[in-house]
Structure 1
Amino acid sequence: MMQASRDSVMAIKTYRYQAELLVKDYLLADPLVPYTSVLCGIFMCKMAYDITQLISSFYFKGYSSLTKIQRIEWNNRGMSSAHAVFITIMSLYLVFFSDLFSDRYEGYVTLRSSNLSNFTLGVSVGYFISDLAMIFWLYPLLGGMEYVLHHLLSLCAITYAMITGEGQLYTYMVLISEATTPAVNLRWFLDTGGMKRSKAYLINGVAMFFAWLVARIILFMYLFYLIYVHYDQIEQMHKFGYLLAFVVPIALAIMNMMWFTKILKGLRKQLAKRR
């Protein structure tokens, strides 16, 4: 028994070592990061889409009664939720917990990047490519022109930051706003599942309101403050990067305010009905 236990431990350590080598030598290797990360992002989207379909068909009785388009959107929202959780966790870590963008180090913060930050951006690029392809495929059933504009702006900015390494701090701060996506998707799930009058729907609406306020309103104010503080560094970026550093956050902030207004109106209606 002791020998078998030791063999199992050794086998686990061997697999872990091989996995670390795979990540270090291939997935995070400098020349391959843009390619492997985007492919990983597309693969993760397909996997999340299929897992959502599998779990829903087994554990949600009403899934089979949905229309074909509703099932596609259901699975698509599962995919976007998986990306949102991944990119939010990684963005929070890289911006606030890692030393990558710390003020303790010398050098321009606008030029800082790492293999991990590049790989993470590549995964996000893979997601936006996959989701944008589905939006165009079923246009406008999965989203109108505002979603196309949002995805194109995000895809352009993220791809540029990944390839050049410029402005990754601001890119990740914008990506933190994806934290609101699971709540938005859950609202749609509950509505489609016939639970619009449930307490869970109301609670989710309140949570979505505060999540949006923090991640897409207050955080964007802090982002604009950082852009102001680092303006002399941003001036040294490539002209296209300089343009993206202002155009993308401003455009997204305007859309965020428009959507936030709709969320606020919807929450008011829900609370009024409850009274």
Structure 2
Amino acid sequence: MAMEPLSPLVLLVAFSSFLVSQWLFHTGGPWLSERLTPHFLTLNHTQRTEWSTRVVSTVHAFVVGLLCLYIFLFDEAIQEDPVWADSSLVKLSVSITTGYLISDLLLMVYFWDFIGEKNFLMHHLAALYAYCYVLSQGILPYFANFRLLSEFSTPFVNQRWFLQVLGYHKCSKPSLVNGVAMAASFFLARIAVIPVYYRHMYSVYGTEAFTRLSQDARFAWVLCSLCLDVMNVMWMRRILRGCLKVLRSGRVREAAMELESRKMD
């Protein structure tokens, strides 16, 4: 079914995504978590709140990430015209993400003492600002879809927090495996693609399709892209520092165990 810019269908998808996100946070996520891990029942209110937000985040990442990968591989229209191609699938994925972001933004503000963070607030606002142009004017489908491919790193970031709350040591095998997957996926999905993204942006600069964009749309496109990438670089730096810290602590731990075994000998 065709989805016109800011049509009732687009608004319906965004609103449905908002409702599903709220349901997952308040009902679906806790119900499923109780059955997957009994440890969920021992968490305090603050931990349960963040746990539930990360469950919603993970579900959204899987749904939108797979949809965007399909679009990237098989939607030839956005490859041929990355600025003005009419892609209903891109509007669908952006509508789902918009509903999720609004839901998560409201939860973040309401539970600010528990899960509030300025960087995430800026991330959500910048993304919503850009996606409003995509949905209202039907522009930049390739670049909007390219941005959403970064969601492939989100499940590993959330899993790191889940393992930590469940009591897994940072040097345990599940934590180390997930840590490597998190660092690799974050780098590949959010950092390594930065030159590709801006090279593609530069390739359409000055073209007829580009000149048809309004000044405010160009400003929103460039500003939001830079803002999101600066935050991604900052988060990548945190991840690398965390990885180095774990590796160092692991070496210290091994050295201590080796020294202790020598003493026993």
**TM-score of the alignment, normalized to the shorter chain, above 0.5:** yes
Match of residue 205, structure 1, among 155, 179, 182 = 179
Deviation sequence 1:208-247 (CA, Å, 0-9, x none)? 1111111111112211110011112334311121012211
**Structure 1 counterpart of 2:218, which letter?**
Y
- For 1:244, the equivalent position in structure 2 comes to 220
Indicate conservation of the 8 Å contact 1:95/1:173, yes or no. Answer: yes
Work out the CA distance in 2 between the residues paired with 1:186 and 1:236: 43
The change in CA–CA distance for 1:32 and 1:250 in structure 2 (over 3 A counts) is: same
The runs of at least 4 aligned residues of structure 1 exceeding 4 Å deviation read: none
Match of residue 77, structure 1, among 20, 44, 54 = 54
Task: Tell me, yes or no, if structure 1 residue 134 matches structure 2 residue 107.
Answer: yes
- For 2:196, the equivalent position in structure 1 comes to 222
Task: Tell me, yes or no, if structure 1 residue 48 matches structure 2 residue 48.
Answer: no
Work out the CA distance in 1 between the residues paired with 2:3 and 2:79: 24
The change in CA–CA distance for 1:100 and 1:43 in structure 2 (over 3 A counts) is: farther
Q: What is the correspondence of 1:1-275 to structure 2 with a 5 Å cutoff?
A: 24=1, 30=4, 31-49=7-25, 50-103=27-80, 108-197=81-170, 198-232=172-206, 233-275=209-251
**Structure 2 counterpart of 1:83, which letter?**
H
**Structure 2 counterpart of 1:109, which letter?**
P
Count of aligned pairs: 245
- For 1:18, the equivalent position in structure 2 comes to none
Aligned sequence identity (%)? 27
Work out the CA distance in 2 between the residues paired with 1:206 and 1:109: 33
Indicate conservation of the 8 Å contact 2:79/2:142, yes or no. Answer: no
**Structure 2 counterpart of 1:217, which letter?**
I
- Secondary structure at the counterpart of residue 166 of structure 1: coil
**Structure 2 counterpart of 1:169, which letter?**
Y
TM-score relative to the length of structure 2:
0.87
Q: CA RMSD in A?
A: 1.5
Q: CA deviation at 1:257?
A: 0.8
**Structure 1 counterpart of 2:16, which letter?**
C
- Secondary structure at the counterpart of residue 113 of structure 1: coil
Work out the CA distance in 2 between the residues paired with 1:29 and 1:96: 20
Ranges in structure 1 where 5+ consecutive residues have no aligned partner: 1-23
Ranges in structure 2 where 5+ consecutive residues have no aligned partner: 252-265
- For 2:260, the equivalent position in structure 1 comes to none
